[in-house]
Amino acid sequence: MGMYAHRAETITSEETLMKKSITRIASIAALTTIALVAQGPRPENGNHGGGGTGSANPPDVATIVARQVNVLTRLLTLTTGQATQATTIFTTELNAITPIDTQITTARTALDAAIKSNTTATINTQAAAIGTLQGQIIAIRAKADAAFYLLLTTDQQTKLNSLDADFFEGLGDVHIPGGGR
């Protein structure tokens, strides 16, 4: 009889684990759907940046931030006050990143030219410049993420922390604080 009790206990724990796995998969699927809906249509003209409207012009800062805050509001049930503060935080973040992105584009163009002309000194200079600029973007995003995280209730922080890294893939231009890094 003792042997059968142990087997029943094992089956029960396996059932519990399976139920938890199914619940987690369903949650990730639901959250991914919300994120995909918030992205808008995919570009069809070869423009793979921004996840925007399908035109050659990437979405503006306000559009990107609105999508991001919309996803975060649905995901974390942000209050109106939290959404307003998040909008300010992420607008400031993107406005700080935009000129750095321009500098990165310029440095990449110079790097491509240096590669084609085999100018190793310029390759080193431009590669270092790109690395420094990317480091600045990481710092700006991390500071914005930290400011946003402080706005959240303990329950919202727990929910954000519990998301699997797989959730963050395919979100286009929607940045989830602390996600997928």
The Cα–Cα gap between 85 and 75 comes to: 16
Q: Does residue 174 lie in a domain region?
A: no
Q: Does residue 148 lie in a domain region?
A: yes
Q: Does residue 73 lie in a domain region?
A: yes
pLDDT given for residue 113 in this prediction: 97
Q: Given phi > 0 = left and psi -120 to 50 = alpha, else beta, which region is 128?
A: alpha
Q: Does residue 124 lie in a domain region?
A: yes
Q: Which two tokens stand for residue 43?
A: 């570009």
The Cα–Cα gap between 124 and 45 comes to: 34
pLDDT given for residue 160 in this prediction: 86
pLDDT given for residue 49 in this prediction: 44
pLDDT given for residue 135 in this prediction: 95
Say whether pLDDT at 18 is over 70: no
Q: Does residue 11 lie in a domain region?
A: yes
- What b/e string do you get for 126-153 counting C-beta neighbours within 10 Å, with b at 16 or more? beebbeebeeeeeebbeebbebbeebbe
The Cα–Cα gap between 43 and 135 comes to: 28
The Cα–Cα gap between 147 and 56 comes to: 33
Domain around 9: 2-168
pTM to 2 decimal places = 0.64
99-146, pLDDT tens digit by residue?
999 999 999 999 999 999 999 999 999 999 999 999 999 999 999 999
Q: Does residue 175 lie in a domain region?
A: no
The Cα–Cα gap between 59 and 119 comes to: 36
Q: Does residue 157 lie in a domain region?
A: yes
- State the pLDDT confidence band at 46, using cuts at 50, 70 and 90: very low
Q: Does residue 176 lie in a domain region?
A: no
User: What's the number of CA atoms in the CB half-sphere (13 Å) around residue 40?
Assistant: 19
Domain count, the chain: 1
